[in-house]
Chains A and B, each alone.
Chain A
Amino acid sequence: MIGSIDPLLLIASLMVASTPILLAAIGELVVEKAGVLNLGVEGMMIVGAIAGFAAAVESGSPLVGFVGAALAGAALSLIFAVLTQVLLSNQVATGLALTLFGIGFSALIGQGYAGRRPPPTPKLDFGPLSDIPVLGPVLLRHDPVVYVSILIVAAVWVFLKYTRAGLVLRAVGESHDAAHALGYKVVRLRVLAIAFGGACAGLGGAYLSLVRVPQWTEGMTAGAGWIALAIVVFASWRPWRVLAGAYLFGGVTVLQLNLQAAGVAIPVQYLSMAPYVITIIVLVIISADRRRAAQNAPASLGRVFHASS
């Protein structure tokens, strides 16, 4: 029964299952590194999912869909940016508002799109490379977005670690007052970071509706945005660990789906709750090591910045 699960296929589908969460989490990592806690990931993801779906269906091109999703996610995140950075609202409350609004708004736009099929996203062809045993089917037979998501992780890592702008961004996240005193534009930088996070979350949502499922249903993100937030904590705000975390959760999701399909004698509902339970367990384990958790969290995370002069 369990033997019917093919490990190669499992790993290959794991990469697909992880990509939405990976995209959303790497975006949120940049936002949090800039000292902003945006709890609206779920809302931006689901708006990205429907915006990307609608754009792809109407234009017939998945590329247009993904671009549209990134723009929609960024546009929605700008509401958050204006509220928290200009009007100095509470970030937790504003993020929640973004999620609640996003879920309703996406259902509203999504009305004529239920049951329709999006244009297929083509898989990249690596020619003979895709036929290498083991490696080929696992790594080299995916659609471009899977590779783009990994490239984004690499780019974020290089940006944060090796560029001057990345250093400034981290400085803003650690101490906005000091960064402000040095003449850096705290608000401008944070708005840009928030928009980047929104675009990534939008992409992640579109990957769900265009590739992973591929269909539009109301509330289809089902907590993926919240899991992405948890992964950022799990990763201790480090880009490559976000990748590891996302693939771990993708693995759990795929495994429980496979167990369901294999007909294991556990009620479906208990298998379906596994990703959420494991998220909690992992969060607890990571947070238990308080010293390390405290070291890595950006010091100004979630605090309102108001330049008094």
Chain B
Amino acid sequence: MPRLERRPTPSRLWTAATPVLAVIATMFAGGLLFAALGKDPVEAIRTIFWDPLFGEFASYSRPQLLVKAGPLILIAIGLSLGFKAQVWNIGAEGQYIMGALAGAATGLAFYPGDSPLLFPAMVVIGALGGGLWGLIPAVLKLRFGSSEILVSLMLVYVAQHILSAAAFGMLKNPEGRGFPGSRNFQQFPAAFNGELIAGTGMHWGVVAALGSVIAAHVLLSRHILGFHIRVAGEAPRAARFAGVSPALLTSVCLGISGALAGLAGLFEVTGPAGQISTDFASGYGFTAIIVAFLGRLHPLGILLAGLLMALTYIGGELAQLTLNLPSAAIQAFQGMLLFFLLAFDVLSNFRIRLARRARA
């Protein structure tokens, strides 16, 4: 009977190796899943992981990689700070929506203005919108002790209904002939978040994502706040003795992750999505949870994980077109990835001993 023996500290080798193992295992299990759906597993996996980068339509799909990875990375960086400190913000989807709504509403209020300050103002207000939405669970937790997990999640549904109300009411395009949805930002240059370098998919949101990776890395490795976040997660009692304020930490983690999710929403609505509409929320806030874990809550890991997850999105769309693979398959595939990651994690925290110990 194999036995698990806790390692004094998690193995660095296995911590780095488990995501790779998890991806490989998911490819196999996903292949089985696709085979069960009557698709050729090898071709499906190749379509998802290879073709978007090197296939026939690669010139179209490569820029999409950054477009999709940008918001995922931005949100996941914020979430990872909280997860490290055992603050569970799972309502990033709601903060993403509220950031987009706040920023877009600001821009639309000044339509058709052309001030160069408009877009920066929208960015700031988008971050504030998401940040304040993220602070609601923090305040309720600190003041009343309610679980931030449940509150932040409930607020996703509230935000989705506000989004729908905005698309049908407050922000509806007055020239839209009664169709729901706001004005399109493409026709509003001062507020449009276009490609910075043509053909790369690089927009301000991607720049912000890269910036957040660097900032998070500096924060965690060089700044006292980052140290507090790590201590609070790994040794809560020690953290309290060291004077780390749990209240401050909870607010900071939820506020930052909310603000980053809000930013992601703002960049998305003013760029790739183009307008506030009922189907604007596409689940980035939830997929980012997988990205954060797959990236081992480490900024550089999250960068890679975000790119990989973006690849599965694009590959999934491609497989939908060429292989008629259902769009939901890719969601199940991403969920499976997280399962395998958590399963393999046992290797980084424990040693597996096969032999019985001599003494009974």
Contacts and interface: CB of A to CB of B under 8 A. Distances in A.
Interface of A: 39, 79, 82-83, 87-90, 92-94, 96-98, 100-108, 110-111, 218, 222-223, 226-227, 229-230, 233, 267, 269-270, 272-273, 276-277, 279-280, 283-288, 290, 293, 306, 308
B300 interface: no
A185 to B, nearest CB: 15
Contacts of B329: 104, 108
Contact of B169 (A98, A267, A293): A267
Interface of B: 4, 6, 37, 88, 90, 140, 144-147, 149-151, 153-158, 161-162, 164-165, 168-169, 286-287, 289-290, 293, 326-336, 338-339, 342-343, 345-346, 349-350
6 contacts: A97-B339, A104-B335, A270-B161, A273-B158, A276-B157, A288-B146
A59 B249 CA distance: 54
B152 to A, nearest CB: 10
A101 to B, nearest CB: 3
Contact of B334 (A104, A110, A270): A104
B147 A108 contact: no
Contacts of B286: 100
Nearest to B5: A308
Given A100-B331, A108-B329, A83 B339 contact: yes
A144 B287 CA distance: 39
Contacts of A288: 144-146
Contact of B154 (A83, A103, A223): A223
A273 B144 contact: no
A308 B6 CA distance: 9
Contacts of B335: 97-98, 100-105
Contact of B165 (A227, A267, A276): A267
Nearest to B169: A267
A19 B343 CA distance: 34
Given A100-B338, A290-B145, A107 B343 contact: no
Contact of A233 (B37, B90, B150): B150
Given A273-B161, A287-B144, A39 B290 contact: no
A87 B161 contact: no
B4 A103 contact: no
For the residues of A in contact with B, the DSSP-based class is: helix
B154 A89 contact: no
Nearest to A97: B338
B148 to A, nearest CB: 10
Given A83-B342, A276-B157, A233 B165 contact: no
Contacts of A82: 343
Contacts of B157: 222-223, 273, 276
Contacts of B147: 233, 283, 287
B330 A104 contact: yes
Contacts, number: 147
A221 B334 CA distance: 20
A270 B165 contact: yes
B332 A223 contact: no
A284 B146 contact: yes
Contacts of B289: 96, 100
Contact of B331 (A39, A90, A107): A107
B165 A269 contact: yes
A135 to B, nearest CB: 35
A22 B37 CA distance: 34
A306 to B, nearest CB: 6
A280 B146 CA distance: 9
B326 A107 contact: yes
Contact of A89 (B90, B145, B333, B343): B343
A1 to B, nearest CB: 21
A101 B332 contact: yes
A173 B220 CA distance: 35
B337 to A, nearest CB: 9
Nearest to A110: B328
Contact of B151 (A94, A110, A283): A283
B218 to A, nearest CB: 26
B133 to A, nearest CB: 13
B81 to A, nearest CB: 15
Contacts of B150: 226, 229-230, 233, 279-280, 283
Given A101-B335, A226-B154, A279-B154, A272 B161 contact: yes
Given A222-B157, A230-B150, A233-B147, A94 B331 contact: no
A280 B151 contact: yes
A9 B287 CA distance: 41
B154 A276 contact: yes
B162 A269 contact: yes
Contacts of B161: 269-270, 272-273, 276
B237 to A, nearest CB: 14
A288 B164 CA distance: 32
A108 B328 contact: yes
Contacts of A107: 326-328, 331-332
A102 B293 CA distance: 18
Contacts of B342: 83, 87, 89-90, 93-94, 97
Contacts of B162: 269, 273
B305 to A, nearest CB: 14
Contacts of A90: 342
A233 B141 CA distance: 14
Contacts of A226: 150, 153-154
Nearest to B292: A93
A92 B293 CA distance: 12
